[in-house]
Structure 1
């Protein structure tokens, strides 16, 4: 009795049947005379199928791949239908309805084109050459680049070829990969088919697939510039905006997050108008969840840098919505709204006037008093600074003792140099009364320390301007020179050997101290070594040094002459 033979697996049997059928079908097509042009196209498709199936058969692990049990039976079915059409176009059967036959041939060509594309994709991915093609373990931080690349290619092969179950599992694996290792986004964007992924955002597809695709896209665009660029260039922005209009709360939030990250690139911001996104974002700010509102106002802030979009924001009623978020939004939405208001108020007089009409300045000041979040406070102060160009707004702010004191407290607190910087900028810009200058004299030592800061850019200059403003009243000048630490810092900043800082700012402060000609101030400055430093700075042609030295020396000469006359 011959040994029992093990039946081949179903996939191998299907591939064998395909090979046999192609071996008969291809020669048969050569004798077809009806619809010759269409059969020429079909013959080329059949030849491509024969080449691809032979390549699959030569791949070492093709029988383990979970996609082929779906692909190969569908291909075999198409070939059988093509074989039937071949018989119809030969002999007496050729008299069948011409239009019907043309339609059937075109359909067969379309099916074969799709199946050829799927087979080519599977072969290009390289997954048929790996023994792990049945169940892939998700790469971790210790995985090699090659392992991660293979995993990503396999995921996208399943997204493009597989049915619903394959797509859902592939998307879930992709999401987990991006959550656990954000650095993998670079390889995903480079090796994966971003067009395939963005096509899954289409509203005509399966809802569960679309929801996972939105999640994956939101993680990708949040991971860096390159993934964000790839997703945008494959047309994700339009579908994401449509999803915001008609989806569940969680999906809207993720879609809005993706839109905010995409528009963070100024090269992409203009596209919001092309897709009609301005009213969509404004509506989300009105009616969305707190999380969605934060992302939506962040996207509005991003696109507000585009002049044409600023006009659209005003026309679509964005101004009152932004003002409302200062009061009703969470800390993130409040900060982004304030940031957006800052951009709008500093770039458009028209929108600044609209913001003032909506009592935007008053609500910003109130938020400044109440908000405990440093980042939000920074955005609020920058927005307030944008309003200070307006004469009436400047006067309102300058006359508010509470506001001035709060700015001084921020400077004295010294925990956040960005807050100190913007607070000093406001003190330098406002027309503060002499009485209020005396009230906040306690921040002068902190302003001197701020003059020593190298970053952020411009902080030394604004600290010096704020300080010289406060030194316009006599009590403050006397108080500053009595502060030994501040006086020593000022003298060190003037020392030519101390080359880290510009000399212009400390020179202007000395000139402001000596503006009143106080003998006591002169004496303390000379004792600290300021006179000698100024002499060397004059020799170095430092701007303002000569004037400051004249004031310091002039006061000394006047004092000597007065004493001689009295004697």
Structure 2
């Protein structure tokens, strides 16, 4: 026992040198192998460790005479081996003296040492195969030319980068990750090749937990890029990426957080992954980012995107509501950062979809007021933000009279009219959808729209080149004509009735929306002044022709106009 302890002392002294060398590591391993034969406990585990020490000794002996003095990769590997041998020495000492605290703990410690030895053996093999020992610095493989690269050349390049990621120094790992990221942005074949290499994605996922911030940032960036490829999502999930990504949400690095949320956003497009994010505490971390990210648009935007994807799971939605998230996102709607504003509006739309209780909660917490402020032409909101705000208003206020009153009192109609007159085409279209929606909500809304001046603006849209725009305008007007004073307003403009009749020309193949236009005229015939203007318009023949073609509404209009005091006038016109 004395001799074995003396041998262990030699191992310890050798490993405590400031700069462990290949020779010192060889000496330490040789002594440790010799000592291991005297250990009587856990014999099977020590036999396995001894075999691995023998293999490691052979590898180190093979590279002993190579030029390793200025090679950072080899030095880093030797240093790691020396630390493991020191740990193994400590375990050997405990086993020799039987001074361990428990058998289970000792077995676990020996298993850890065994796994570390396996890793060292693989790393040395990679160093040797790459030829990193033939000169003072690592051979750098150039990226193949984009247009003439063969698949074999590309695979060789990816394998080289993979080896550097596994065994290189911190700087080499970082440079390899940067190079790989540039490669996959340039040509997606590199991603497909990487997916075929054993353990490539597993290593990347493991590196997400590395303490070196720059490496962690670059790994997060790479996996975020890879997650954009549908074929790779399953492989990343299989490699266990969700948990380290969620841990990345708590990183001190803003870049790591942003890339992690971006990656999660892509992965949770498949709702099956929502539960995994929730199970690892991701929902709480995402809400925390949103709560503290007033000046971090990209980060908050991605976090909102993940939450939007996972609220499809009802239990997660309820948890988010219980965490008082609705007031938080209404607050974010008021943000001056365009990305934050748009993302929070998008989230509110997603969480309110199909859930009347949440719609009511959004209204109760001041959501409608916040959204109307986004519509204000004086605000700095973007066109896209205003379009989304309009959509959420339509979603949230669908069944609430109180919310309609709030809309009216906060200038909603004025904003819609402004977009009709001065907005870009995209927001004009959404504003028209909002007007159509509003015209179908209540008589009060129809009256308010007429009082605000909607009729002349809607008439302008009837002649739009877009069939959809013309149809929506006609439907909205048709809804509004139910109100008597709106009919009077419409008829009061001399040109309105004539325009409708002109658009009913049977010879015009592009006039479209005839049924809706006839519906409007049908409603107008209840008004004496409208009937007179129809008869005197000069386009009465259009309705006559449609009636002859058995168009039902046209025949009804003709019958109404032919009654009573209009009959003689019409007979004179038709037979002239």
| TM-score, normalised with respect to structure 2 | 0.70
Partner Cα distance (1:414, 1:372) in 2: 13
Aligned positions of 1:506-545 closer than 5 A? 506-517=514-525, 518-521=531-534, 524=537, 526-527=539-540, 529-533=542-546, 536=549, 538=550, 545=551
**RMSD value, Cα:** 5.3
2:389 match? 380
User: Does the 8 Å contact 2:158/2:190 carry over to 1?
Assistant: no
User: Structure 1 529/217 Cα, relative in aligned 2: closer, same or farther at 3 Å?
Assistant: same
Instruction: State how 1:464-503 maps to structure 2 within 5 Å.
Output: 464-472=474-482, 473-474=486-487, 475-476=489-490, 479=493, 482=496, 491=505
Q: Is 2:337 aligned against 1:330? A: yes
Residues 106-505 of structure 1: matches in 2 within 5 Å? 110=115, 112-118=117-123, 134-138=139-143, 141-142=146-147, 144=149, 146=151, 147-178=153-184, 181=186, 183=188, 186-187=191-192, 190-191=195-196, 193-202=200-209, 205-221=211-227, 223-291=228-296, 292-369=299-376, 370-396=379-405, 399-400=408-409, 402-413=411-422, 415-417=424-426, 419-421=428-430, 423-430=432-439, 431=442, 432-434=445-447, 436-437=449-450, 439-449=453-463, 452-453=466-467, 462-472=472-482, 473-474=486-487, 475-476=489-490, 479=493, 482=496, 491=505, 505=513
SS in 2 for 1:245: coil
8 Å CA contact 1:256–1:296 kept in 2: the answer is: yes
Shift of 1:122: 7.9
CA–CA distance in structure 2, aligned partners of residues 118 and 528 of structure 1: 91
Cα distance, 1:365 vs structure 2: 0.8
Distance, in Å, in 2 between the alignment partners of 1:487 and 1:188 is: 66
CA contact (8 A) 1:127 1:154 kept: no
SS of 2:370's equivalent in the other structure is: helix
Per-residue Cα deviation, 1:377-436 (whole angstroms, up to 9, x for no partner) = 111111111222233245315645942232234245563346514532443334334363
Alpha-carbon shift at residue 149 of structure 1 (Å):
3.5
Distance of aligned partners of 1:76 and 1:269 in 2 relative to their CA distance in 1, 3 Å threshold: closer
How far does residue 314 in structure 1 lie from its aligned partner after superposition?
1.0
Question: 2:165 and 2:498 mapped to 1: Cα distance?
Answer: 71
Q: Do the aligned residues in 2 keep the contact of 1:401 with 1:436 (CA within 8 Å)?
A: no
Partner residue, 1:7: none
Q: Are the aligned partners of 1:447 and 1:467 in contact in 2 as well (CA < 8 Å)? A: no
Residues 370-379 or 253-262, more deviating: 253-262
Number of corresponding residues? 513
The TM-score with structure 1 as length reference comes to: 0.71
The correspondence for 1:553, drawn from 553, 558, 576, is 558
Unmatched segments (≥5 aa) in structure 2 = 1-21, 30-39, 101-105, 133-137, 526-530
Structure 1, unaligned runs of 5 or more: 1-13, 22-32, 58-62, 89-94, 539-544
Rounded Cα–Cα distance in structure 1 between residues aligned with 2:519 and 2:177: 68
Q: Distance in 1 between matches of 2:150 and 2:389?
A: 44
